[in-house]
Amino acid sequence: MKQNHHFPIPKEGGSVDFETLVQPHLTSAFRVAYLIVHDYHLAQDAVQEALWEAYQSLYRYDERKGTSFRAWFMKIVTHRALNVVRRKKNTEEYMDSIDPGQNPLESILQREKEQQIWQAIQLMTPKHRSAVILYYYEEFSVAEIAKILGVFEGTVKSRLHKARKLIAENMQIKQEKQVITEMGVIMHD
Amino acid sequence: MTNLDKQITQTLKKVAGELEQPNFVMPYQVVAYKRKRSRLLGVGAVVLPVSISCALLLTISVSPTFAAYVKSLFNGSDKELQYAVQEGFSQKVNASVTDQGYTLEIEEILADPMRIVAVYSIKDQQKNFIHPDKLQISNVEVIDSKGNIIKETRIYGLQNRENYGYLTLKKPGETEEQQLVLQFEGNQIDSVKGNWALKVPFDLEKTTKASQVLPIDKTYTTPQGLQIKLNSIMHSPTAALVDYETKWTEEAKKRLVEESKQMKGKVDSADPYVRYDDFKLNFHVENENGEEVNDLTRALDTPRKALGEYGHSNRQYGFAPLSPDHQYTLVLDSLVKTEPYELGVSFEPKQLADKPVRVDKDGKTIEIKSVTLDEPLNEASPKTEKHVTILLEAYVKDISYINIGDTILIDDAHKITNRFGWTIKDEAGKVYDVTGGDFKMIGKDEQGRNHIRMKLQSSDMKELPQKLSLTSELAEKSYELDWKVPLPMPKEDK
């Protein structure tokens, strides 16, 4: 370890512990950030910032509170990614040089339905999108997502419900919409 | 889970599964990342001995499929690919497989060290074209002669037109092999399940020969202490790419540490995180007539690689291939970074009509234009009520952005608050949360200062206080630079 670094050593756990803790979640952290941000470099920035923050705040993480390290770290990553989206939005408002070129990843989704789903997810507000990604991609429970996003469980449910509705509408499946209205969102927990 | 739930999960996994993970620097890590140089991008790598200009002199028949394709598909949008096709760099393949009455055919491949593009079509038994989006692709891989998968090509894109699908794979750069195989598999066409698998050999020999990596080896240190070392330029038939490194000087590092102390608690980062990496460089390439070359950085999607702490990283700037008929210069236009920057104004909202507010201080000017009740600017704000909205304009030198506020979610308190932007305070010291706003760059004033318009909104403010003070302590500053470096061009073969 470097002798003269600018970062305080976490109260509990040294650097090796930190890497051991964080490494298994890096791939999924980057993917979650990308799914929220839709930009490779900005997602990279979000996760890098999250790493710094997690390292700084590691002493605050207490397993005994019942939160897994994955959920704790993903909370930081999600917030970083959401902030990047906000910064990106602000920048794009006054920059007309942004290249609106199609994201190549959009095109890998061959089936019409998948393309419609992905398009709908991209068009959602970041708060709905992050709920969808944490729920469907990371398979966190509603309670865990509520903790991660800092909102009530009911809010998560309502965001997921609205997100599903938006997806269904985008897919133009009238029957599907009726099913959603009747059934609501089926939750993991 | 309903069927829709499953489809959402599957879609997200499919998108995310294609992502290659970038490098990350562990916070305690010193220079643990050794620079990984690809054969083609490294400084001092062997210069590949064939020229683009030589190819230009030859009359090569243009493949009709690709020619039609470039005409319809890249009409003005990707001239780079069109150029490469016109110069005869595409390879006719005509590999096909038939199953369940449908024939999948790969017609042509255009492959160079920057990207690989394959054109495919689907036909039914009567030889009618089936729209390419009816094919469900189950696997795409590029392998070398030993069967190793070329990692970079795991990310691919598709564009479908009426009769042809266009598969684009990126950056086959990290292989020594010239002979590669594209494995392309589909398992469903329209609603018919089947197996359409093609292995199509192609080679990079011709385009690699037409590609060169030339050293630039020029270093410049900005007045802000960012050292930029231009390593090399790679010319390929479809693009050009400048490879460079960035590093802060020792003095700048100290200044960044000092800045971070001033920024403590005012930016959305963990204390006392020093934002070594939080900058952006703006480049452009122009010819001798000042005509700018298309920027392809986003199209080539080159990830930044961390080489260590303190913002030491390896980056690339990509642009359209350069014509041998011109001379080109890379111009570094600006460095953009967030810094401590104080702005403040106090005023009496109710007196605004009678007493216009304009503050001139330290070369900065702020004007309060209006205080009104408006619709929420933030979709998260309650929509049932109007919100106090302050419209202000600022004239500030070199400032390209001022944060309005970032939304922070407070631990366990289920409370959302906004920080790291403007602070709105009344005469009693009560602070109002900025719940919405926007930012617009209007242009420059006669003094060359940036003219900025901002709206700050607070749903917390139910009635207008006697006095309001607005303060902001950070801003994104754009330092104009003018470093010009002539770009080395490929030499013709003797």
Which of A31, A106, A164 lies at the smallest CB-CB distance from B4? A164
Q: Most confidently modeled of A64-78, B39-53, B274-288?
A: B274-288
Q: What is the pLDDT of residue B49?
A: 26
Q: What is the pLDDT of residue B91?
A: 85
The torsion angles phi and psi of B347, rounded to 5 degrees, stand at -160, 165
Residue A31 near residue B16 (C-beta atoms within 8 A): yes
What gap in Å lies between CA A28 and CA B419, rounded to an integer?
28
What percentage of chain B reaches a pLDDT higher than 70?
Answer: 76
Instruction: Inform me whether the pLDDT recorded for A46 exceeds 80.
Output: yes
Fold (topology level) of A12-95: Rna Polymerase Sigma Factor; Chain: A (1.10.1740)
Which of B11, B12, B273 lies at the smallest CB-CB distance from A52? B273
Instruction: Inform me whether the pLDDT recorded for B5 exceeds 80.
Output: yes
Tell me where in chain A the CATH 1.10.1740.10 domain(s) lie.
12-95
Between B314 and A187, the more confident residue is: B314
- Per-residue pLDDT tens for B93-137? 889 999 999 999 998 888 888 888 888 889 999 999 998 878 877
The torsion angles phi and psi of B241, rounded to 5 degrees, stand at -145, 125
Q: Do domains B42-208 and B349-466 have the same CATH topology?
A: yes
For chain B, how far is it from start to end, CA to CA, in angstroms?
67
Q: Which of B60-74, B82-96, B236-250 has the lowest mean pLDDT?
A: B60-74
Q: Find the mean pLDDT for residues B48-60.
A: 27
| Sequence-separated contacts (24+) of B361-370 with Cβ below 8 Å | B363/B397, B363/B449, B364/B394, B364/B395, B364/B396, B364/B397, B365/B394, B365/B395, B365/B396, B365/B449, B366/B392, B366/B393, B366/B394, B367/B392, B367/B393, B367/B394, B368/B392, B369/B393
Q: Most confidently modeled of A95-99, B114-118, B251-255, B377-381?
A: B251-255
Which of B26, B158, B439 lies at the smallest CB-CB distance from A19? B26
Q: Most confidently modeled of B170-174, B267-271, B362-366?
A: B362-366
Residue B301 near residue A104 (C-beta atoms within 8 A): yes
What gap in Å lies between CA B66 and CA B60, rounded to an integer?
13
Strand, helix or coil at B216? strand
State the smallest CA–CA distance between residue B24 and chain A in angstroms: 6
Instruction: Inform me whether the pLDDT recorded for B409 exceeds 60.
Output: no
Band of residue B58 on the pLDDT scale cut at 50, 70, 90: very low
Q: What is the pLDDT of residue B380?
A: 52
With an 8 Å Cβ cutoff, are B157 and A137 in contact?
no
B361: left (phi over 0), alpha (psi -120 to 50) or beta: beta
Band of residue B469 on the pLDDT scale cut at 50, 70, 90: very high
Tell me where in chain A the CATH 1.10.10.10 domain(s) lie.
103-189
Q: What is the pLDDT of residue B464?
A: 87
Task: Enter the tokens of residue B341.
Answer: 């920057």
Q: What is the pLDDT of residue B323?
A: 86
Contact map slice: B 302-341 vs A, CB within 8 A: 303-304, 306, 309
Strand boundaries in B39-132, DSSP class E: 90-99, 102-111, 115-123, 129-130
Which chain A residues have a beta carbon less than 8 Å from that of B269? 49, 52-53
User: Considering the domain B42-208, what is its CATH architecture?
Assistant: Sandwich (2.60)
Q: What is the pLDDT of residue A106?
A: 41
Residue A12 near residue B35 (C-beta atoms within 8 A): no
Q: What is the pLDDT of residue B28?
A: 56
User: Considering the domain A103-189, what is its CATH architecture?
Assistant: Orthogonal Bundle (1.10)
Helix (H) or strand (E) holding A60: none
Residue B123 near residue B164 (C-beta atoms within 8 A): no
How many other C-beta atoms are found inside a 10 Å radius of the C-beta of residue A109? 22
Strand partners, B102: B99
With an 8 Å Cβ cutoff, are B27 and A52 in contact?
yes
With an 8 Å Cβ cutoff, are B12 and A45 in contact?
no
Q: What is the pLDDT of residue B9?
A: 85
CB burial of B244-283 (b: ≥16 within 10 Å; e: otherwise) equals bbbbbeeebbeebeebbeebeebbbbbeebbbbbbbebbb
With an 8 Å Cβ cutoff, are A102 and B411 in contact?
no
Fold (topology level) of B213-338+482-486: Immunoglobulin-like (2.60.40)
Q: Which of A16-30, A163-177, B402-416 has the lowest mean pLDDT?
A: B402-416
Residue B316 near residue B243 (C-beta atoms within 8 A): yes
Average pLDDT, chain B: 78
For chain A, how far is it from start to end, CA to CA, in angstroms?
42
Which ipTM value was assigned to this complex?
Answer: 0.75
What gap in Å lies between CA B408 and CA B435, rounded to an integer?
11
Say whether the peptide bond before residue B340 is cis (omega within 30 degrees of 0): no
For the domain made up of B349-466, the CATH class stated in words is mainly beta
Q: Find the mean pLDDT for residues A132-136.
A: 91
Band of residue A177 on the pLDDT scale cut at 50, 70, 90: very low
Whether B443 contacts chain A with CB within 8 A:
no
With an 8 Å Cβ cutoff, are A83 and B379 in contact?
no
- Per-residue pLDDT tens for B215-226? 999 999 999 999
For chain B, the structural domain boundaries read 42-208, 213-338+482-486, 349-466
What percentage of chain B reaches a pLDDT higher than 90?
Answer: 32
How many other C-beta atoms are found inside a 10 Å radius of the C-beta of residue B325? 8
Which chain A residues have a beta carbon less than 8 Å from that of B25? 48, 51
Model confidence pTM above 0.80:
no
Whether B32 contacts chain A with CB within 8 A:
no
Instruction: Inform me whether the pLDDT recorded for A187 exceeds 70.
Output: no
Whether B118 contacts chain A with CB within 8 A:
no
Residue B249 near residue B311 (C-beta atoms within 8 A): no
